Structure 1
Protein backbone atom coordinates (compact mmCIF):
# COMPACT_ATOMS: atom_id res chain seq x y z
CA UNK A 1 0.00 0.00 0.00
CA UNK A 2 1.38 3.41 -0.97
CA UNK A 3 2.09 5.78 1.92
CA UNK A 4 -0.30 8.72 2.34
CA UNK A 5 1.39 11.96 1.38
CA UNK A 6 0.21 14.77 3.62
CA UNK A 7 0.08 18.00 1.64
CA UNK A 8 0.23 21.21 3.66
CA UNK A 9 -2.91 23.29 3.63
CA UNK A 10 -1.07 26.39 2.39
CA UNK A 11 0.22 24.47 -0.64
CA UNK A 12 -3.26 23.33 -1.65
CA UNK A 13 -4.63 26.84 -1.19
CA UNK A 14 -1.80 28.26 -3.23
CA UNK A 15 -2.49 25.83 -6.05
CA UNK A 16 -6.14 26.86 -6.04
CA UNK A 17 -5.23 30.54 -6.03
CA UNK A 18 -2.78 30.43 -8.93
CA UNK A 19 -4.60 27.84 -11.07
CA UNK A 20 -6.16 29.16 -14.25
CA UNK A 21 -3.43 31.77 -15.03
CA UNK A 22 -4.63 35.22 -14.02
CA UNK A 23 -8.15 34.17 -13.02
CA UNK A 24 -9.08 35.36 -9.53
CA UNK A 25 -9.91 32.47 -7.16
CA UNK A 26 -13.59 31.75 -6.72
CA UNK A 27 -14.94 31.22 -3.20
CA UNK A 28 -15.98 27.64 -4.02
CA UNK A 29 -12.40 26.87 -5.11
CA UNK A 30 -11.06 27.96 -1.74
CA UNK A 31 -13.71 25.96 0.12
CA UNK A 32 -13.03 22.83 -1.95
CA UNK A 33 -9.30 23.13 -1.34
CA UNK A 34 -9.90 23.50 2.39
CA UNK A 35 -12.10 20.40 2.47
CA UNK A 36 -9.53 18.36 0.54
CA UNK A 37 -6.78 19.41 2.90
CA UNK A 38 -8.86 18.48 5.94
CA UNK A 39 -9.65 15.04 4.50
CA UNK A 40 -6.00 14.35 3.76
CA UNK A 41 -4.90 15.53 7.20
CA UNK A 42 -7.69 13.72 9.09
CA UNK A 43 -9.33 10.96 7.01
CA UNK A 44 -12.68 9.61 8.22
CA UNK A 45 -12.31 6.50 10.41
CA UNK A 46 -13.51 3.17 8.98
CA UNK A 47 -17.01 2.05 9.92
CA UNK A 48 -16.70 -0.69 12.53
CA UNK A 49 -18.63 -2.38 15.33
CA UNK A 50 -22.27 -1.50 15.77
CA UNK A 51 -22.05 1.22 13.10
CA UNK A 52 -21.28 -1.35 10.41
CA UNK A 53 -24.27 -2.87 8.56
CA UNK A 54 -23.27 -6.39 9.58
CA UNK A 55 -26.31 -7.69 11.43
CA UNK A 56 -27.83 -10.88 10.06
CA UNK A 57 -31.02 -10.07 11.97
CA UNK A 58 -32.31 -6.76 13.28
CA UNK A 59 -35.63 -5.56 14.68
CA UNK A 60 -35.56 -1.83 15.33
CA UNK A 61 -38.95 -1.74 17.00
CA UNK A 62 -38.01 -4.33 19.60
CA UNK A 63 -34.38 -3.22 19.77
CA UNK A 64 -32.67 -6.54 19.12
CA UNK A 65 -30.09 -7.64 16.58
CA UNK A 66 -27.79 -10.58 15.89
CA UNK A 67 -24.26 -10.25 14.56
CA UNK A 68 -23.02 -12.92 12.13
CA UNK A 69 -22.16 -16.18 13.89
CA UNK A 70 -19.97 -18.83 12.27
CA UNK A 71 -21.27 -22.39 12.45
CA UNK A 72 -24.93 -21.41 12.89
CA UNK A 73 -27.85 -21.06 10.49
CA UNK A 74 -30.40 -18.28 10.96
CA UNK A 75 -34.07 -19.36 11.05
CA UNK A 76 -37.06 -17.03 11.15
CA UNK A 77 -39.22 -19.46 13.11
CA UNK A 78 -38.89 -21.64 16.20
CA UNK A 79 -40.50 -24.77 14.77
CA UNK A 80 -38.33 -27.76 13.97
CA UNK A 81 -39.54 -31.36 13.75
CA UNK A 82 -36.92 -32.53 16.22
CA UNK A 83 -37.89 -30.04 18.95
CA UNK A 84 -40.96 -29.05 20.91
CA UNK A 85 -43.63 -26.69 19.55
CA UNK A 86 -42.36 -23.27 18.53
CA UNK A 87 -43.69 -21.16 21.41
CA UNK A 88 -42.16 -17.73 21.94
CA UNK A 89 -40.25 -19.11 24.95
CA UNK A 90 -39.68 -22.53 26.43
CA UNK A 91 -42.24 -23.63 29.02
CA UNK A 92 -44.55 -20.75 28.09
CA UNK A 93 -48.02 -20.97 29.59
CA UNK A 94 -50.65 -21.83 26.94
CA UNK A 95 -52.66 -18.65 27.48
CA UNK A 96 -49.60 -16.36 27.47
CA UNK A 97 -49.34 -14.64 24.12
CA UNK A 98 -45.95 -13.91 22.59
CA UNK A 99 -44.03 -13.60 19.34
CA UNK A 100 -41.32 -16.06 18.22
CA UNK A 101 -38.62 -13.96 16.57
CA UNK A 102 -35.55 -15.80 15.37
CA UNK A 103 -33.28 -18.78 16.02
CA UNK A 104 -29.63 -19.62 15.46
CA UNK A 105 -29.41 -23.36 14.76
CA UNK A 106 -26.07 -25.05 15.35
CA UNK A 107 -24.92 -26.64 12.10
CA UNK A 108 -25.30 -30.41 12.13
CA UNK A 109 -28.33 -30.43 14.45
CA UNK A 110 -30.57 -33.43 13.87
CA UNK A 111 -33.16 -35.54 15.67
CA UNK A 112 -30.46 -37.18 17.79
CA UNK A 113 -28.99 -33.96 19.17
CA UNK A 114 -29.98 -30.40 18.28
CA UNK A 115 -28.90 -27.03 19.64
CA UNK A 116 -30.50 -23.64 19.08
CA UNK A 117 -30.37 -20.10 20.40
CA UNK A 118 -33.97 -18.90 20.35
CA UNK A 119 -35.35 -15.40 20.86
CA UNK A 120 -38.96 -14.44 21.47
CA UNK A 121 -40.80 -11.51 23.05
CA UNK A 122 -44.15 -10.70 24.58
CA UNK A 123 -46.04 -7.57 25.53
CA UNK A 124 -48.72 -9.60 27.32
CA UNK A 125 -49.19 -7.95 30.72
CA UNK A 126 -48.94 -11.24 32.61
CA UNK A 127 -45.86 -12.24 30.62
CA UNK A 128 -44.16 -8.96 31.47
CA UNK A 129 -44.99 -9.17 35.19
CA UNK A 130 -43.74 -12.77 35.46
CA UNK A 131 -40.93 -12.42 32.91
CA UNK A 132 -38.08 -13.00 35.38
CA UNK A 133 -39.74 -15.88 37.25
CA UNK A 134 -38.37 -19.37 36.58
CA UNK A 135 -41.02 -21.88 35.49
CA UNK A 136 -41.80 -25.05 37.36
CA UNK A 137 -39.06 -27.56 36.70
CA UNK A 138 -36.22 -25.09 37.14
CA UNK A 139 -33.18 -26.35 38.95
CA UNK A 140 -32.82 -25.82 42.67
CA UNK A 141 -30.05 -23.31 41.98
CA UNK A 142 -31.11 -19.73 42.52
CA UNK A 143 -31.36 -17.57 39.36
CA UNK A 144 -28.38 -15.32 38.77
CA UNK A 145 -27.75 -12.17 36.74
CA UNK A 146 -25.87 -12.27 33.46
CA UNK A 147 -24.94 -9.28 31.30
CA UNK A 148 -25.78 -9.58 27.61
CA UNK A 149 -24.45 -6.69 25.54
CA UNK A 150 -24.15 -4.74 28.78
CA UNK A 151 -27.77 -5.29 29.87
CA UNK A 152 -28.82 -7.35 32.94
CA UNK A 153 -30.65 -10.61 32.21
CA UNK A 154 -31.98 -13.05 34.78
CA UNK A 155 -30.54 -16.51 34.06
CA UNK A 156 -31.80 -19.89 35.18
CA UNK A 157 -31.56 -23.46 33.90
CA UNK A 158 -34.55 -25.68 33.25
CA UNK A 159 -34.89 -29.16 31.85
CA UNK A 160 -37.40 -31.76 30.83
CA UNK A 161 -37.18 -35.46 30.01
CA UNK A 162 -39.73 -38.05 28.98
CA UNK A 163 -38.98 -41.61 27.90
CA UNK A 164 -35.98 -41.34 25.58
CA UNK A 165 -36.36 -37.62 24.81
CA UNK A 166 -34.83 -34.72 26.70
CA UNK A 167 -34.26 -30.99 26.55
CA UNK A 168 -32.03 -28.72 28.61
CA UNK A 169 -32.39 -24.95 28.54
CA UNK A 170 -30.28 -22.05 29.75
CA UNK A 171 -32.91 -19.31 29.90
CA UNK A 172 -32.22 -15.57 29.92
CA UNK A 173 -35.00 -13.06 30.65
CA UNK A 174 -35.12 -9.27 30.50
CA UNK A 175 -37.85 -6.63 30.66
CA UNK A 176 -37.30 -3.71 28.28
CA UNK A 177 -39.57 -1.15 26.66
CA UNK A 178 -42.60 -2.74 28.36
CA UNK A 179 -41.98 -6.17 26.89
CA UNK A 180 -40.47 -9.46 28.06
CA UNK A 181 -37.43 -10.61 26.09
CA UNK A 182 -36.74 -14.35 26.25
CA UNK A 183 -33.46 -15.87 25.03
CA UNK A 184 -33.20 -19.65 25.32
CA UNK A 185 -30.12 -21.76 24.70
CA UNK A 186 -31.76 -25.10 24.00
CA UNK A 187 -30.16 -28.53 23.68
CA UNK A 188 -32.60 -31.33 22.89
CA UNK A 189 -32.77 -34.73 21.32
CA UNK A 190 -33.13 -38.46 21.74
CA UNK A 191 -30.88 -40.78 23.69
CA UNK A 192 -28.61 -42.45 21.07
CA UNK A 193 -28.74 -45.81 22.83
CA UNK A 194 -32.43 -46.33 22.00
CA UNK A 195 -31.51 -46.90 18.35
CA UNK A 196 -30.33 -50.25 17.00
CA UNK A 197 -27.50 -49.93 16.32
CA UNK A 198 -26.91 -46.93 18.61
CA UNK A 199 -27.00 -43.65 16.72
CA UNK A 200 -24.08 -41.26 16.51
CA UNK A 201 -24.95 -37.73 17.64
CA UNK A 202 -23.53 -34.81 15.63
CA UNK A 203 -22.01 -33.35 18.82
CA UNK A 204 -22.16 -34.00 22.55
CA UNK A 205 -24.15 -31.94 25.04
CA UNK A 206 -21.10 -30.18 26.48
CA UNK A 207 -19.96 -29.09 23.03
CA UNK A 208 -23.47 -27.88 22.17
CA UNK A 209 -23.67 -25.77 25.33
CA UNK A 210 -20.26 -24.25 24.70
CA UNK A 211 -21.17 -23.31 21.11
CA UNK A 212 -24.48 -21.79 22.24
CA UNK A 213 -22.61 -19.61 24.73
CA UNK A 214 -20.50 -18.37 21.83
CA UNK A 215 -23.67 -17.56 19.88
CA UNK A 216 -25.01 -15.62 22.87
CA UNK A 217 -22.21 -13.14 22.24
CA UNK A 218 -23.85 -12.23 18.93
CA UNK A 219 -26.90 -10.71 20.65
CA UNK A 220 -27.07 -6.91 20.49
CA UNK A 221 -29.45 -4.62 22.36
CA UNK A 222 -30.02 -1.69 20.01
CA UNK A 223 -32.56 0.46 21.89
Structure 2
Protein backbone atom coordinates (compact mmCIF):
# COMPACT_ATOMS: atom_id res chain seq x y z
CA UNK A 1 0.00 0.00 0.00
CA UNK A 2 1.36 3.47 -0.96
CA UNK A 3 1.73 6.07 1.75
CA UNK A 4 1.38 9.87 1.46
CA UNK A 5 4.34 11.94 2.56
CA UNK A 6 3.90 13.34 6.08
CA UNK A 7 3.83 16.97 4.87
CA UNK A 8 1.08 16.18 2.35
CA UNK A 9 -1.02 14.46 4.99
CA UNK A 10 -0.72 17.43 7.33
CA UNK A 11 -1.69 19.80 4.52
CA UNK A 12 -4.86 17.81 3.82
CA UNK A 13 -5.85 17.71 7.50
CA UNK A 14 -5.36 21.39 8.28
CA UNK A 15 -8.31 22.77 6.19
CA UNK A 16 -10.66 20.22 7.74
CA UNK A 17 -9.63 21.22 11.24
CA UNK A 18 -9.94 24.93 10.53
CA UNK A 19 -13.31 24.47 8.86
CA UNK A 20 -14.65 22.64 11.90
CA UNK A 21 -13.41 25.38 14.23
CA UNK A 22 -14.90 28.15 12.12
CA UNK A 23 -18.28 26.45 11.95
CA UNK A 24 -18.33 26.04 15.73
CA UNK A 25 -17.44 29.70 16.36
CA UNK A 26 -20.26 30.87 14.04
CA UNK A 27 -23.01 28.99 15.89
CA UNK A 28 -25.55 31.53 17.29
CA UNK A 29 -26.19 31.79 21.02
CA UNK A 30 -29.88 32.05 21.87
CA UNK A 31 -30.73 33.82 25.16
CA UNK A 32 -34.04 32.92 26.75
CA UNK A 33 -36.08 35.59 28.51
CA UNK A 34 -38.12 34.58 31.52
CA UNK A 35 -41.50 36.29 31.18
CA UNK A 36 -44.93 36.09 32.70
CA UNK A 37 -48.18 36.83 30.87
CA UNK A 38 -51.20 38.45 32.49
CA UNK A 39 -54.65 38.30 30.89
CA UNK A 40 -57.09 40.88 32.24
CA UNK A 41 -60.41 39.33 33.20
CA UNK A 42 -63.28 41.14 31.48
CA UNK A 43 -61.03 43.48 29.50
CA UNK A 44 -59.28 42.92 26.13
CA UNK A 45 -55.82 43.55 27.56
CA UNK A 46 -52.65 41.49 28.02
CA UNK A 47 -49.39 42.23 29.77
CA UNK A 48 -46.05 40.50 29.25
CA UNK A 49 -43.64 41.29 32.07
CA UNK A 50 -40.31 40.13 33.45
CA UNK A 51 -40.72 37.25 35.88
CA UNK A 52 -38.42 38.96 38.41
CA UNK A 53 -41.20 41.47 39.13
CA UNK A 54 -43.45 40.67 42.08
CA UNK A 55 -47.21 40.55 41.44
CA UNK A 56 -48.87 41.80 44.63
CA UNK A 57 -52.11 40.46 46.05
CA UNK A 58 -54.56 42.96 47.51
CA UNK A 59 -54.22 46.70 47.83
CA UNK A 60 -50.75 48.20 48.14
CA UNK A 61 -51.75 51.23 50.20
CA UNK A 62 -49.34 53.85 51.48
CA UNK A 63 -49.14 57.18 53.28
CA UNK A 64 -50.45 59.02 50.19
CA UNK A 65 -52.39 56.34 48.35
CA UNK A 66 -55.13 53.86 49.22
CA UNK A 67 -53.99 51.39 46.56
CA UNK A 68 -57.24 51.57 44.60
CA UNK A 69 -57.62 50.99 40.85
CA UNK A 70 -56.21 54.41 40.05
CA UNK A 71 -54.59 57.27 41.89
CA UNK A 72 -56.78 59.80 43.72
CA UNK A 73 -60.16 58.80 42.35
CA UNK A 74 -63.46 57.93 43.99
CA UNK A 75 -65.17 56.27 41.01
CA UNK A 76 -65.78 52.54 40.71
CA UNK A 77 -63.16 50.45 38.95
CA UNK A 78 -61.04 47.30 39.10
CA UNK A 79 -57.42 47.01 40.08
CA UNK A 80 -56.19 44.52 37.49
CA UNK A 81 -52.55 43.97 38.50
CA UNK A 82 -49.87 45.62 40.63
CA UNK A 83 -46.20 44.80 40.04
CA UNK A 84 -43.37 45.65 42.43
CA UNK A 85 -39.65 45.94 41.74
CA UNK A 86 -38.02 43.04 43.61
CA UNK A 87 -35.51 45.22 45.49
CA UNK A 88 -38.30 47.27 47.10
CA UNK A 89 -38.25 47.50 50.88
CA UNK A 90 -39.81 49.54 53.69
CA UNK A 91 -37.58 52.51 52.86
CA UNK A 92 -38.51 52.81 49.17
CA UNK A 93 -41.01 50.87 47.08
CA UNK A 94 -41.56 51.02 43.31
CA UNK A 95 -44.93 49.92 41.91
CA UNK A 96 -46.49 49.58 38.45
CA UNK A 97 -50.27 49.51 38.75
CA UNK A 98 -52.92 48.88 36.12
CA UNK A 99 -56.62 49.53 36.64
CA UNK A 100 -59.70 49.74 34.45
CA UNK A 101 -63.34 50.74 34.64
CA UNK A 102 -66.48 50.81 32.51
CA UNK A 103 -68.34 52.86 35.10
CA UNK A 104 -69.90 55.82 33.21
CA UNK A 105 -68.54 58.36 35.70
CA UNK A 106 -65.05 56.87 35.50
CA UNK A 107 -65.08 56.86 31.70
CA UNK A 108 -66.37 60.43 31.52
CA UNK A 109 -63.66 61.72 33.86
CA UNK A 110 -60.93 59.34 32.71
CA UNK A 111 -58.69 62.03 31.23
CA UNK A 112 -59.20 64.49 34.09
CA UNK A 113 -55.92 64.86 35.95
CA UNK A 114 -55.71 64.38 39.73
CA UNK A 115 -55.45 67.49 41.88
CA UNK A 116 -51.97 69.10 41.75
CA UNK A 117 -50.87 66.85 38.86
CA UNK A 118 -48.75 68.33 36.09
CA UNK A 119 -49.64 67.34 32.50
CA UNK A 120 -46.93 65.88 30.30
CA UNK A 121 -45.85 68.03 27.38
CA UNK A 122 -47.06 65.47 24.84
CA UNK A 123 -49.31 62.45 24.61
CA UNK A 124 -47.85 59.00 25.19
CA UNK A 125 -48.43 55.97 23.01
CA UNK A 126 -48.84 52.65 24.78
CA UNK A 127 -49.86 49.50 22.90
CA UNK A 128 -50.85 51.60 19.90
CA UNK A 129 -53.25 53.74 21.96
CA UNK A 130 -52.90 57.41 22.86
CA UNK A 131 -52.65 58.04 26.60
CA UNK A 132 -52.79 61.32 28.49
CA UNK A 133 -49.84 61.48 30.88
CA UNK A 134 -49.11 63.41 34.05
CA UNK A 135 -46.66 63.61 36.93
CA UNK A 136 -47.47 64.14 40.58
CA UNK A 137 -45.00 64.57 43.44
CA UNK A 138 -45.91 64.77 47.10
CA UNK A 139 -44.02 64.84 50.39
CA UNK A 140 -44.78 65.23 54.07
CA UNK A 141 -43.86 63.89 57.51
CA UNK A 142 -40.65 62.29 56.11
CA UNK A 143 -42.70 60.46 53.46
CA UNK A 144 -42.52 61.00 49.71
CA UNK A 145 -44.33 59.84 46.59
CA UNK A 146 -43.39 60.33 42.93
CA UNK A 147 -46.05 59.33 40.39
CA UNK A 148 -46.15 59.11 36.62
CA UNK A 149 -49.67 58.35 35.41
CA UNK A 150 -51.25 57.47 32.07
CA UNK A 151 -54.96 57.51 31.15
CA UNK A 152 -56.88 56.46 28.05
CA UNK A 153 -60.38 55.47 26.98
CA UNK A 154 -60.22 52.37 24.77
CA UNK A 155 -63.40 50.73 23.44
CA UNK A 156 -65.56 52.36 26.09
CA UNK A 157 -63.35 51.55 29.09
CA UNK A 158 -61.06 53.80 31.11
CA UNK A 159 -57.55 52.41 31.57
CA UNK A 160 -55.24 53.79 34.25
CA UNK A 161 -51.52 53.03 34.51
CA UNK A 162 -49.73 54.46 37.54
CA UNK A 163 -45.97 54.28 38.06
CA UNK A 164 -45.27 54.93 41.74
CA UNK A 165 -42.01 55.37 43.64
CA UNK A 166 -42.69 56.04 47.31
CA UNK A 167 -41.27 55.63 50.76
CA UNK A 168 -39.61 57.46 53.62
CA UNK A 169 -36.53 59.58 54.07
CA UNK A 170 -33.76 57.20 55.09
CA UNK A 171 -32.23 59.87 57.33
CA UNK A 172 -35.03 59.44 59.89
CA UNK A 173 -33.78 55.95 60.78
CA UNK A 174 -31.17 55.32 63.46
CA UNK A 175 -28.77 54.51 61.98
CA UNK A 176 -29.71 56.13 58.65
CA UNK A 177 -30.70 53.73 55.87
CA UNK A 178 -30.14 53.90 52.14
CA UNK A 179 -32.84 53.39 49.53
CA UNK A 180 -32.57 50.13 47.54
CA UNK A 181 -32.38 52.09 44.27
CA UNK A 182 -32.24 55.70 43.02
CA UNK A 183 -35.73 57.06 42.40
CA UNK A 184 -35.17 57.95 38.75
CA UNK A 185 -33.64 54.54 38.02
CA UNK A 186 -36.71 52.90 39.55
CA UNK A 187 -39.03 55.09 37.47
CA UNK A 188 -37.15 54.18 34.29
CA UNK A 189 -37.57 50.50 35.06
CA UNK A 190 -41.29 51.00 35.69
CA UNK A 191 -41.64 52.82 32.34
CA UNK A 192 -40.22 49.81 30.54
CA UNK A 193 -43.14 47.70 31.80
CA UNK A 194 -45.46 49.80 29.61
CA UNK A 195 -43.87 48.11 26.58
CA UNK A 196 -45.49 44.81 27.58
CA UNK A 197 -49.08 46.11 27.38
CA UNK A 198 -51.22 45.05 24.41
CA UNK A 199 -54.86 45.20 23.39
CA UNK A 200 -55.43 41.98 21.40
CA UNK A 201 -58.13 42.03 18.75
CA UNK A 202 -60.08 38.87 18.07
Instruction: Give the TM bin, normalised by the shorter chain.
Output: 0.7 to 0.9
Give the TM-score of the pair, scaled to structure 2. 0.75
The answer to whether structure 1 residue 87 and structure 2 residue 68 are counterparts is: yes
- Which whole-Å CA distance do the structure 2 matches of 1:64 and 1:199 have between them? 39
One of 133, 143, 166 as aligned partner of 2:144: 166
Give the TM-score of the pair, scaled to structure 1. 0.69
Aligned equivalent of 1:190: 168
> 1:175 offset after TM fit, Å?
0.5
- Which whole-Å CA distance do the structure 2 matches of 1:211 and 1:105 have between them? 11
Unaligned runs of 5+ in 1: 1-53
Q: Secondary structure at the match of 1:63?
A: coil
- Which whole-Å CA distance do the structure 2 matches of 1:74 and 1:221 have between them? 20
In structure 2, relative to structure 1, the CA distance for the partners of 1:221 and 1:143 (3 Å cut) is farther
Q: Secondary structure at the match of 1:217?
A: helix
> 1:110 offset after TM fit, Å?
1.3
> 1:122 offset after TM fit, Å?
1.4
Aligned equivalent of 2:102: 123
Aligned equivalent of 1:73: 54
The answer to whether structure 1 residue 134 and structure 2 residue 120 are counterparts is: no
Cα deviation, 1:143-170, whole Å, max 9, x if unaligned, reads 5311111111111111222211111111
Unaligned runs of 5+ in 2: 1-34
Q: How many pairs does the alignment contain?
A: 167
**CA root-mean-square deviation:** 2.0
Q: Secondary structure at the match of 1:157?
A: strand
